[in-house]
Chains A and B, each alone.
Chain A
């Protein structure tokens, strides 16, 4: 029945190149095309599952996507938008949520924090979105948080971030700082015998908080280890020569780098130009995903270690299916970083939570979220903690010249999220 419909559409639509492209894209997803067209509207009555006036009809439910597609953050956030759209399409192909098709409204935060707040309000107040997938930087999240709390919305936030926050109205699908930092430092201390650390970061809340946690862990929990330097650079900074000279003088066992965005390109190129050989000098970063390597160039960073929860190269069945579906939808050349994968979890976790709660109501979803398990996660298995963060494994990968990470180490168990770590503040 799908075939009939498609050929109908083909006749009408081939005139428009965009539609043709879309159709070709659709045809290229055999898994989806072969599936019987799901019939929507067979779920429980709307009055029963939506008591607070959200945009839920008998056959549809509306969610919002709120990322920057323009401005400086667009490069980073595009992957998240793509992942969320993929997840929504897959959920719709498998029957939707409580028998309802997900319809999404996309808004542009334009890399501008007040715009994020304005658009978040629009999605909640005007469009009555049942959930919003969005935000990337901490600043944008901080800007929208009061809006979500005031109008009782639900935000699925994908980025690894500094912690120190917990809200009924947010599910944090990325790692908070302790999850990303502690296991990595333990690993580098144990396997490399690292004793001296040089901490670097871009100058804003996430690198500063993360380095604070790193310093506390290094000084308090690793035998005989110490921090030999700590420096911050404005966002967009491109001159790292002086700090590189200091690094050459102090010869730390580990360079711990939390430099974000475009600065990375200059930093790694200048490191290489200064003759710092990553096969001899250990460098551990928590801010460079495959997306950033795309800009830095694999040959400039090959040999560095990254500590996060997901790498595109992870060898498991979920991830292989995810990577191939992602590439079919968005092109062979796209790369998938940690945050993109975390963004993909958002719609799925929301679907599972709605189905467990048997309702779209925000209060019921917030209450039902703890304990939700997603076994189909590309990173493996994840579970939502009582504090609305995810239990997840921490992994260390080594950058290769082709821009991918090779998995070196992963924690045996899921690491507990602890946004307000005792003894680290």
Chain B
């Protein structure tokens, strides 16, 4: 019980349990497979948002290039799936059967060397984690060791996002260009497009999301997490205390990159394709907005924020095809101006004190029994 109550404080526990109920019980029962698949798509961004809570909310490192890592993870998965979908039998019509269709259109006659290892699923899985981690390490090491931070770092991540987009679009024979890698069908012979598969993928994703939440929470609560906060508040003091600030920053940035990459890989599985439109500056900023709306200091807030913003995006665009972007923009401005800590801030500042007062008045009435009852769910 002691460990539990330390690992999650009460409001986090409420967040955890209600999220568990929402994602595992309520949504699957209430929504049809189409809407549930949309939720699954939203949740892939939640991975990015959790990463941003660690790196931006706690570490104070604002990255405007998380789309890069989301994309790298997504492309690693898409390359594996595309190779499986491009069997010789499926691509008889091409001049070179057995290679992905877009390579054939671009006059490639054999699989490029860096595509070949992606025929192996274990390699693809490892690449989903390692490629973004190594890439983030390189960027992080190059920047943080030179003490580049703050706004400059944000701008550089943006530039990286722009560069990668241009690279993917320009090298279309190797990457599928602006169309992206489309028409993904099976994972080890298992058709990922059926309703049944979507349902299974949804639960796999929810499971991974909770793993991600627990990992993030764990990082936050260790000494490492405290150093991150200290760094955000007073970087110099941490440095003078003998800690290597750069290494901690690199770690936070790499961790956020891996979270984003897992989200990207799941996105590819859920949606069935990957394209440079998730890599660039605009999607990267959108991902930061999800975190801002949810609350950048709260892991659960970020998840709820992601679901809510995306849900608003879908429903507004269905109801008002021509006006929805304005509505969405207004929502962002309102949240950021009025509630800088996002939804989690609203919960912490307004909702929870009221509940506490309510509970406190009840506890007074019923004596000590109320406290025990309150503590019980924590076990």
Write the residues of chain A forming the contact surface with B, with a CB cutoff of 8 angstroms.
69-70, 106-108, 110, 112-115, 117-119, 121-122, 125-126, 138-139, 142-143, 145-146, 150, 162, 164, 203-205, 208-209, 212, 234-235, 420, 425
Q: How far is the CB of B117 from chain A (nearest CB, A)?
A: 25
Q: Which of B314-334 contact A (CB under 8 A)?
A: 314, 317-318, 321-322, 324-325
A-contact bits for B166-188, CB 8 A (1 contact / 0 none): 10011010000111101111000
Task: Assess A117 versus B272: contact at CB under 8 Å? Given A203-B169, A203-B172, A205-B172.
Answer: yes
Known A138-B179, A150-B193; further 15 A-B contacts with Cβ < 8 A: A110-B325, A113-B179, A118-B41, A119-B317, A119-B318, A126-B32, A143-B182, A164-B101, A203-B177, A204-B172, A204-B178, A204-B179, A235-B169, A235-B178, A425-B104
Chain B residues contacting A110 (CB-CB under 8 Å) are 317, 325
Contact of B179 among A203, A205, A212, A420 (CB under 8 A): A205
Contact B277 A112 (CB under 8 A): yes
Assess whether B105 is interfacial by the CB under 8 Å rule: yes
Write the residues of chain B forming the contact surface with A, with a CB cutoff of 8 angstroms.
32, 34, 37-38, 41, 93, 95, 101-102, 104-107, 166, 169-170, 172, 177-180, 182-185, 193, 271-273, 275, 277-278, 314, 317-318, 321-322, 324-325
Chain A residues contacting B169 (CB-CB under 8 Å) are 203-204, 234-235
Task: Assess A122 versus B318: contact at CB under 8 Å? Given A114-B271, A146-B183, A205-B102.
Answer: yes
Q: In the bound complex, how far is the Cα of B185 from the Cα of A150, in angstroms?
A: 10
Chain A residues contacting B278 (CB-CB under 8 Å) are 114
Chain A residues contacting B317 (CB-CB under 8 Å) are 107-108, 110, 115, 119
Chain A residues contacting B324 (CB-CB under 8 Å) are 70, 108
- Tell me the total A-B contact number using a CB cutoff of 8 A: 100
Q: In the bound complex, how far is the Cα of B182 from the Cα of A157, in angstroms?
A: 18
Contact A114 B277 (CB under 8 A): yes
Contact of A142 among B179, B193, B314 (CB under 8 A): B179
The 3 closest A-B pairs by CB, nearest first: A108-B321, A139-B179, A142-B182
Q: How far is the CB of B378 from chain A (nearest CB, A)?
A: 39
Contact of A205 among B41, B107, B170, B178 (CB under 8 A): B178
Chain B residues contacting A114 (CB-CB under 8 Å) are 41, 271, 273, 275, 277-278
Contact B179 A125 (CB under 8 A): no
Q: How far is the CB of A265 from chain B (nearest CB, A)?
A: 20
Q: How far is the CB of A53 from chain B (nearest CB, A)?
A: 15
Contact of B271 among A117, A122, A234, A425 (CB under 8 A): A117
Contact B95 A107 (CB under 8 A): no
Contact of B182 among A125, A146, A209, A420 (CB under 8 A): A146
Contact of A209 among B38, B105, B184 (CB under 8 A): B105
A sample of 14 cross-chain residue pairs with beta-carbon separation below 8 angstroms, ordered by A number, consists of A106-B321, A110-B317, A114-B275, A114-B277, A142-B182, A143-B182, A143-B275, A164-B105, A205-B102, A205-B177, A234-B169, A234-B170, A425-B95, A425-B104
Task: Assess A139 versus B325: contact at CB under 8 Å? Given A108-B317, A118-B41.
Answer: no
Q: In the bound complex, how far is the Cα of B271 from the Cα of A106, in angstroms?
A: 22
Contact A113 B277 (CB under 8 A): yes
Q: How far is the CB of B323 from chain A (nearest CB, A)?
A: 9
Q: In the bound complex, how far is the Cα of B168 from the Cα of A234, in angstroms?
A: 11
Q: In the bound complex, how far is the Cα of B321 from the Cα of A242, in angstroms?
A: 41
Residue on A nearest B184 in the bound complex, by CB = A146
Residue on B nearest A145 in the bound complex, by CB = B183
Q: In the bound complex, how far is the Cα of B253 from the Cα of A272, in angstroms?
A: 49
Q: How far is the CB of B81 from chain A (nearest CB, A)?
A: 12
Chain A residues contacting B95 (CB-CB under 8 Å) are 425
Contact A113 B275 (CB under 8 A): yes
Task: Assess A139 versus B178: contact at CB under 8 Å? Given A69-B321, A108-B317, A150-B193.
Answer: yes
Q: In the bound complex, how far is the Cα of B166 from the Cα of A235, in angstroms?
A: 9
Contact B275 A208 (CB under 8 A): no
Task: Assess A139 versus B275: contact at CB under 8 Å? Given A108-B317, A234-B170.
Answer: yes
Q: How far is the CB of A403 from chain B (nearest CB, A)?
A: 26
Q: In the bound complex, how far is the Cα of B93 from the Cα of A225, in angstroms?
A: 30
Chain A residues contacting B183 (CB-CB under 8 Å) are 142, 145-146
Task: Assess A212 versus B193: contact at CB under 8 Å? Given A114-B277, A143-B273, A203-B169.
Answer: no
Q: How far is the CB of B200 from chain A (nearest CB, A)?
A: 17
Contact A107 B172 (CB under 8 A): no
Contact B272 A234 (CB under 8 A): no
From A69, A108, A209, A234, residue with most partner B Cβ within 10 Å: A108
Chain A residues contacting B322 (CB-CB under 8 Å) are 69-70, 108
Chain B residues contacting A150 (CB-CB under 8 Å) are 193
Q: How far is the CB of B308 from chain A (nearest CB, A)?
A: 17
Q: How far is the CB of B137 from chain A (nearest CB, A)?
A: 29
Q: How far is the CB of B10 from chain A (nearest CB, A)?
A: 37
Chain B residues contacting A142 (CB-CB under 8 Å) are 179-180, 182-183, 273
Chain B residues contacting A208 (CB-CB under 8 Å) are 105-106, 172
Residue on A nearest B317 in the bound complex, by CB = A108
Residue on A nearest B170 in the bound complex, by CB = A203
Q: How far is the CB of A139 from chain B (nearest CB, A)?
A: 4
